[in-house]
Amino acid sequence: MLGPMSAKRLRSRVFTSLLLPLIAVLLTVSGCGLTITRIQTAADKPSNVAVYFKVEDGKGEPVGGMTAEQFEIYEDNELVSVYESKQTILNPEVAASHYTLLLVDMSGSVADSEDFPKISEAATLFTSQVEKNNQVAIYAFDGSAEIHKITDFTGSAGGAQARANSLSGFKPQDPSTNLNGAIVQGLEVLDEGLEKADNPLRIGTLVVFTDGTDRASRVPESEMLDAVNGTPYEVFAIGLGAELSEKDLQQIGKSGTALAKDSSEIQTAFETIGKRIEQLTQSYYLLSYCSPARAGEHTVTIKGKHTPEGKKNETTGKLETEFDAEGFDKGCDPNTKPKFDITKGDMAADDSGGGGKGKAKASASASAK
């Protein structure tokens, strides 16, 4: 027979053994929802409301391919009928510009190596992959103080790909590696490109390819890291060779990395980052609908539901935003291009004047193996 203390300890162990699996299940469930991040909201007469947002899963991975039917719209906690709202997902390109700058290391160790043809080919395939949803520019860097333009931002099908071929004819002016300075300048070029974009919402991505660390010492590493960590843009890094460690690469590629150990993995590394950028671009949604409200300020809740590929359980998430229905009336067409005000909300311009830049960040690391 157990004594009072032994019986108490036994009950405690039984309770703990039953509680721990329950806690584990709860933690798993809580980490599997959708994160829906509002980027900007627009409301305009006659009664149009549009919300631009980004969807990620519980691990921070982008979620693309969702349809209008996977979202429910609530105004002031009341479900808005889909027949009344005529809700639809518009092509984000009508309101948002996605720009990607590929910055390629063309120092002597790259341009003069037997691996260079594979690097040039991989860069060309990368631009073909990414330009489907992005305007792509290609710049090269060596040991020079300034980076070299190979091709400016273009959104025409095959445009960047065609001009990427000129990368193969590039000859370095200085065989050293001004990696730090190139990254700082690359972000500035991305800024300048987006300033000229037609759409009010502007989202940028910098992709850096290098086979080594900075050798020129023109710009301190601290200045480069401040620029990377301070930018609202996505920054990816692709590395080649043994000189670079995963840690070195991750300092640059805050949004994701791919490391090719040798030339046989170069194309896979570029494809990894290209696919990641595609997924990020497709995870942005522009949901437009006709509001039944005719006056006053209202809170909109958008609830999304998604079943991951190969899974049975549905994941859900929501966002909230507000709009003013003053002057709203009948005659709404949800396919009307929204008028976003980038001076307000999450896409407001910062003090540097780079208005409308996307600040949503989805980080991940993918090593090519």
More confident residue, 353 or 180: 180
- Give the Cα separation of 31 and 181 in Å (integer): 39
DSSP state of 38: E
User: Which residues, in sequence order, are bridge partners of residue 206?
Assistant: 101, 235
- Tell me the pLDDT tens digit for each residue of 54-80: 999 999 999 999 999 999 999 999 999
Mean pLDDT in residue range 14-37: 52
Pairing of strands 148-154, 284-290: unpaired
Contact 103, 114 (CB under 8 A): no
pLDDT on residue 345: 44
pLDDT on residue 244: 83
Task: Flag the least confident range among 192-201, 318-327, 352-361.
Answer: 352-361
Domain with residues 34-90+284-337, CATH architecture: Sandwich (2.60)
- Give the Cα separation of 126 and 150 in Å (integer): 15
User: Is the pLDDT assigned to residue 355 strictly greater than 50?
Assistant: no
Mean pLDDT in residue range 282-296: 98
More confident residue, 186 or 167: 186
pLDDT on residue 160: 57
- Mean pLDDT over the full length of the chain: 85
Residue 168's H or E segment, with its range, is none
Mean pLDDT in residue range 293-312: 95
Q: Do domains 34-90+284-337 and 96-282 have the same CATH topology?
A: no
Domains in the chain: boundaries: 34-90+284-337, 96-282
pLDDT on residue 309: 86
pLDDT on residue 161: 57
Q: For the domain bounded by 96-282, which CATH number is listed?
A: 3.40.50.410
pLDDT on residue 351: 34
More confident residue, 290 or 354: 290
What the block records as the tokens of 255 is: 């949004």
- Tell me the pLDDT tens digit for each residue of 85-141: 999 999 988 889 999 999 999 999 998 888 899 999 999 899 989 988 899 999 999
Among 102, 112, 368, 103, residue whose Cα is nearest residue 240: 368
pLDDT on residue 246: 87
- Tell me the pLDDT tens digit for each residue of 226-255: 999 999 999 999 999 887 888 889 999 999
Report the Cα–Cα distance between both ends of the chain, in Å, rounded. Answer: 60
Q: What is the pTM of this model?
A: 0.82
User: Is the pLDDT assigned to residue 36 strictly greater than 90?
Assistant: yes
Neighbour count for residue 172 (Cβ, 10 Å): 21
Contact 183, 22 (CB under 8 A): no
pLDDT on residue 365: 33
